[in-house]
Amino acid sequence: MKLIMAEASPFARKVRVLLRETDQLKDVQEVHVATSPFKSDATVQAANPTGRIPSLIRPEGPALYDSRVITRYLDARIHASLYPEAELWEVLTLEATGDSMMDSAVSISYESRLRPEHMISADWMNAQWTKIIGGCDALQSNWMSQLNGPLTMAHISVACALGYLDLRHDARNWRQGHEALAEWFANFAKRDSMIDTHFKG
């Protein structure tokens, strides 16, 4: 199989961390691409007509996207238990929280890096940041016991979201007021899967 990905993408990182945590890297070749909303890569476009990464090309059927579909597929493929039945709805909601924070964080990156300067909206970026902080607040208030439990896809998604905040939006300091979450992330970031997929930019 081939994973179409970029090292900076937090969505792709979710899949890459899963591959390492579940020992499936041997079955998947990571194909590095450079893509952006203005200039989609041909490999990306061929695998995903909506032009986004990650996507997973597999021999037995059409390419899979988006990250949540790919992680669910790779989990089911070897019964890895990253989506335990007993807490499925909690795990999915928590994964969605991480993904939603990524959506907002990537959107801020695109606004600041890709738009002509006179069109950049500080209000837009601040509104997106408010969503991210809402996610951090909820994680810290409601989900720490889940995050401190056995590894699920929820942990991986949240960690990849926080890692991306450090990569692109460090100056906004998400840790302020989220000390318990920051401590959890500091520990999670020590896992080999996280170290191996860490991108400094």
Site size for ligand GSH (CB under 6 A): 16
Query: Which structure tokens are listed for 84?
Result: 């335990």
Establish if 197 lies at the interface with ligand GSH (CB under 6 A). Answer: no
Find how far residue 105's CA is from the centre of its chain: 10
Q: Looking at beta carbons only, is 65 or 143 nearer to ligand GSH?
A: 65
Q: Looking at beta carbons only, is 34 or 78 nearer to ligand GSH?
A: 34
φ and ψ at 61, to 5 degrees?
180, -175
Establish if 90 lies at the interface with ligand GSH (CB under 6 A). Answer: no
Q: Which residues contact 5 (CB under 8 A, 6 or more apart)?
A: 12, 15, 16, 30, 31, 32, 33, 53, 54
Establish if 67 lies at the interface with ligand GSH (CB under 6 A). Answer: yes
Q: Looking at beta carbons only, is 61 or 86 nearer to ligand GSH?
A: 61
Establish if 146 lies at the interface with ligand GSH (CB under 6 A). Answer: no
Among 3, 5, 33, 35, binds ligand GSH (CB under 6 A): 35
Site string for ligand GSH, 47-66 (x = CB under 6 A): ----xxxx----------xx
Q: Which residue's CB comes closest to ligand GSH?
A: 66
Q: Residue with structure tokens 């191996």? A: 196
Whole-number minimum distance, CB 103 to ligand GSH, in Å? Answer: 7
Q: Looking at beta carbons only, is 75 or 99 nearer to ligand GSH?
A: 99
Q: Looking at beta carbons only, is 51 or 134 nearer to ligand GSH?
A: 51
φ and ψ at 4, to 5 degrees?
-85, 120
Establish if 95 lies at the interface with ligand GSH (CB under 6 A). Answer: no
Query: Which structure tokens are listed for 66?
Result: 């988006």
Residues that bind ligand GSH (CB under 6 A): 9, 11, 35-37, 40, 51-54, 65-68, 99, 106
